[in-house]
Structure 1
């Protein structure tokens, strides 16, 4: 049996997913010409064209799409075989990924409880704003932030989140804020990454204007929360992500009725075949129970 080169198969999978040879080269840590060469080798091997160019980049030909569907199943088999080999060890390794703010603010304070319940599972946690690439078999479970749009993956939303204006008690005592419109003249903290940002919150609460400026801007939710704790301005963030600061009395809602926008922004995400792995089942059940408890 003649098999196509594995490097060429991997190149096809990444190019098909990203729709770009240059982006695939960056992910694979190869040159653009090397990735092109792998694709050409594979097309020579199978005897047909696998990609065609479009206005939006590269896309699979019908033959390429059929081939990609078939090899994705084979890659799953390889990943599962590697998983079974790992599971033969006495201590299993659970590989998690999440956004930095969720990891530091919500998950890490709870991980000791998981370790106490499951001492046979060793946790590896990585964090970034990039979504995990499950085809590389490096992550078991991803906790993703944003709108759920991953139809090929198993997705469970963790909890509804109230996005509310938050302020330090000391700063609140120095301000006179009665209505949402009053916030337009105060120092507001902007988050580049939040699913709900100030213009949407103002519109939802009947304020047609939007802030002309922001006192501070951050690309990490935990930095937004910390800036609000320090009294540097008013934050718009999830009460779940800020629950530690709220419980400690470092932050309070700006309005007595909170004036929230409710969203589902954090989701448990993994390939469907991972549901067969005991460590994934045990972690996700524990995580959902923690989310229900608040």
Structure 2
């Protein structure tokens, strides 16, 4: 009968790892206890046991909660994804082994406008992978929410995670052919007197765009504003105003001629707004590796790092 190796004897209890991960996530022992359905004292006991085993302090305690020490930050980066890997392994053991489930989460507009029109291409190329896609603006927790890859919108500030930014994304002024025929635009100043659709979700919106062109925002209020890019683009397609939106998200509208970009060389703004985010350990999952390779092909070039 095999005997435990020295390495296996040094493995910390799973409860201690769970207590550490949840406490690091919330910065609060009581909140971690709530998530784990334990008492705060039980979580504190697990943390103390883990720190004693490691021989280093993982948290700094203060009146407002806890913060990770540099050792704690490194430990969190090293163990990130392990609990999720356990959950995935358990799920696969109890399900059809002929299918591997790729769990994706995306910001709503990216999921609806860019990913959905292409997801069948991925499925046809990888019929052994089942796809589960959810969409929201939340930054989900990978292990708790069972997410392989999260496609996020915003500034890429997730230091403990692998981040691959989508390249070649621009915000551009666009409108329907009918609106452009009725209200042509040849300079930024022209847009001061045009109906503008405000997209609240973009990293650069109309006030910043006008400032970049040395102009103040129009005095008149925006006739329409939306908190989702797909709604702003649909409003522009219907001829309700000029939108400042992502050419990446608008690709289908543009390819069908339902929207036109106005003077792209002068009036567009480069942005790094969408990012594929995942724990470093997930890069070793074959389904994730295949999805990342497919995304590279679809986007036409390598990701920026």
Q: Normalised by the shorter chain, which TM-score bucket?
A: 0.7 to 0.9
Distance 2:102 2:287 in 1: 6
Query: What SS does the corresponding residue of 2:300 show, helix, strand or coil?
Result: helix
Contact 2:33 2:43 in 1 (8 A): no
Q: Alpha carbon RMSD of aligned pairs, Å? A: 3.2
Contact 1:12 1:68 in 2 (8 A): no
- Aligned CA distance change for structure 1 residues 122 and 5 (closer, same or farther; 3 Å): closer
- Aligned CA distance change for structure 1 residues 24 and 245 (closer, same or farther; 3 Å): farther
- Aligned CA distance change for structure 1 residues 186 and 136 (closer, same or farther; 3 Å): same
Residue 61 (structure 1) shift: 7.0
Q: 1:245 aligns to what?
A: 253
Structure 1 residue runs of 5 or longer lacking an equivalent are none
Distance 1:167 1:280 in 2: 37
Pairing 1:198–2:203 present: no
Residue 191 (structure 1) shift: 1.6
**Paired residue for 2:85, among 80, 91, 107?**
80
- Aligned CA distance change for structure 1 residues 82 and 249 (closer, same or farther; 3 Å): same
Q: State TM-score, norm by structure 1.
A: 0.82
Comparing 226-235 and 86-95, the one that deviates more: 86-95
Query: What SS does the corresponding residue of 1:217 show, helix, strand or coil?
Result: strand
Structure 2 residue runs of 5 or longer lacking an equivalent are 1-8
Contact 1:13 1:68 in 2 (8 A): no
Query: What SS does the corresponding residue of 1:60 show, helix, strand or coil?
Result: strand
Aligned length: 283
- Aligned CA distance change for structure 1 residues 272 and 253 (closer, same or farther; 3 Å): same
Contact 1:4 1:45 in 2 (8 A): no
Residue 179 (structure 1) shift: 1.6
Q: State TM-score, norm by structure 2.
A: 0.79
Superposition pairs of residues 77-226 of structure 1, within 5 angstroms: 77-86=82-91, 89-136=97-144, 138-207=146-215, 209-212=216-219, 213-226=221-234
